Amino acid sequence: MISVSLCMIVKNEEQVLSRCLNSIADLMDEIIIVDTGSTDRTKEIAARYTDRIYDFPWNGSFSDARNFSFSKATKDYIYCADADEVLDEENHQKFLMLKKGLLPEIDIVQMYYDNQLSYNTIYNYDKELRPKLYRRIRHFVWESAIHEAVRLDPLIYDSDIVITHRPTCNHKGRDLAAFERLCKDDVRLNKRLHNLYAKELMIAGEPEDFRSAYPAFEKSIVDPDRTPDEILEACCICTKASLISKNFLEFFKYTTKAMAIGGCSEICCCLAEYYKNIEQNTSEAALWYYNAAFETESILDLKCHTTIPLNALIDICTENGNLEEAEHYRQMLASE
């Protein structure tokens, strides 16, 4: 049987920490809690489960805090958990079976992360595989009978264990503030973070968030090292920000550029919003909502391809007396 170190970083998690640890503590061979500045009873609660509690002065980097927690682990594998996760009884048993039978050459075990859409997170799906269990010391091996080489890619096992995500609040404010600090420090976001920042803005951003993000994404559009996908993401953010600020010259500049790249549902929804709310032209708005739902795909917020345009088309058709067409869209919405 493998041994497992639980590594967690926490801050002000008194509402959920016991719930999380009660569901997994007996599966762990050691529990390491790294606190980044709690002012509530988080450390007091953690002390009921372990004496391996460390303070880590928050420096704005989750990676630094995670690396510090991993550095304290001593067991075969490291399980990385957040305080708002829960493992139910069925998946608790699956985890125990995994511990007993995991092949020693596996480097990473992925588990399903569930219940995402209930909390307006940056994700467009309710369930996804995520790496959760990591081999602490990776042993490099040679492979191939000829032209031998060291295997560099990790061996990943996709388990059927489901972890339920049950946060008590939405973390968008914290996350968007972190992105904003990086951009103000002129840190160039890599492709993954660029996508996540754009997603979080489109899914959960407030008007002020778009205004703050505008300069960074404006730079992305003219960055020769950005891919077409990244430029299209940036166009979405700049289009939305321009619409919020009612800077219509910039608005059409970015919608045109986006359409030249290939377009997406997010841009179509912005155009529909412009014609509906600014021009008071519902027939033109309906055209763009139709394009959002049926002629393009979403790249950041799935709702721009489903619920937003379909609900708008239902309202417009109902107002115009096209009740049969409205019912058609209503049935489509119900099947989503």
pLDDT at residue 124 in the model: 52
The answer as to whether 138 is a domain residue is: yes
Q: Can you give the residue range of the structural domain that contains 65?
A: 4-165
Check: CB of residue 292 under 8 Å from CB of residue 268: yes
Residue 277: DSSP 8-state: I
Q: What is the CATH number of the domain that holds 42?
A: 3.90.550.10
Euclidean distance between CA atoms 329 and 313, whole angstroms? 7
Q: Alpha-carbon torsion 140, 144, 145, 148, what sign?
A: negative
Pairing of strands 127-135, 77-80: antiparallel
**Do residues 76 and 6 touch, judged by C-beta distance below 8 A?**
no
Please name the residues in contact with 36: beta carbons below 8 A apart, sequence gap of 6 or more: 9, 10, 11, 56, 57, 58, 65
Residue 144 lies in a domain: yes
Q: Which amino acid, residue 91?
A: N
Q: Tell me whether residue 249 is in a domain.
A: no
pLDDT at 117: 53
| Domain annotation covers residue 319 | no
Give me the pLDDT at residue 172, please: 62
Which residues, in sequence order, are CB contacts of 90 under 8 Å at separation 6+? none
pLDDT computed for residue 150 by the predictor: 82
Whether residue 32 is contained in a domain is answered as yes
| Tens-binned pLDDT, residue by residue, of the chain (336 aa) | 999 999 999 999 999 999 999 999 999 999 999 999 999 999 999 999 999 999 999 988 889 999 999 999 999 999 999 999 999 999 999 999 999 999 988 999 999 988 655 554 555 555 788 999 999 998 887 777 776 788 788 999 999 999 998 877 656 667 888 888 888 888 899 999 999 999 999 998 999 999 999 999 999 999 999 999 999 999 999 999 999 999 999 999 999 999 999 999 999 999 999 999 999 999 999 999 999 999 999 999 999 999 999 999 999 999 999 999 999 999 998 887
Kind and range of the H or E run holding 140: none
Residue 172, strand partner residues: none
* Confidence at residue 125, expressed as pLDDT on a 0 to 100 scale: 55
- The CA distance from 239 to 245, in Å, is 10
CB of 35 closer than 8 Å to CB of 54: yes
Written as one letter, the residue type at 295 is E
**Contact residues for 124 (Cβ-Cβ < 8 A; gap 6+):** 199, 203, 298, 301, 302
Residue 111 in any domain: the answer is: yes
Residue 300 to residue 303: CA distance in whole angstroms: 9
Determine the pLDDT at residue 144: 73
**Domains: count for the chain:** 1
The DSSP letter of residue 15 is T
- Answer yes or no: is 318 within a domain: no
The whole-number pLDDT of residue 159 equals 94
- Among residues 121, 197, 203, 110, the alpha carbon closest in space to that of 166 is found at 121
**Helix, strand, or coil here: 222?**
coil
Tell me if 19 is assigned to some domain. yes
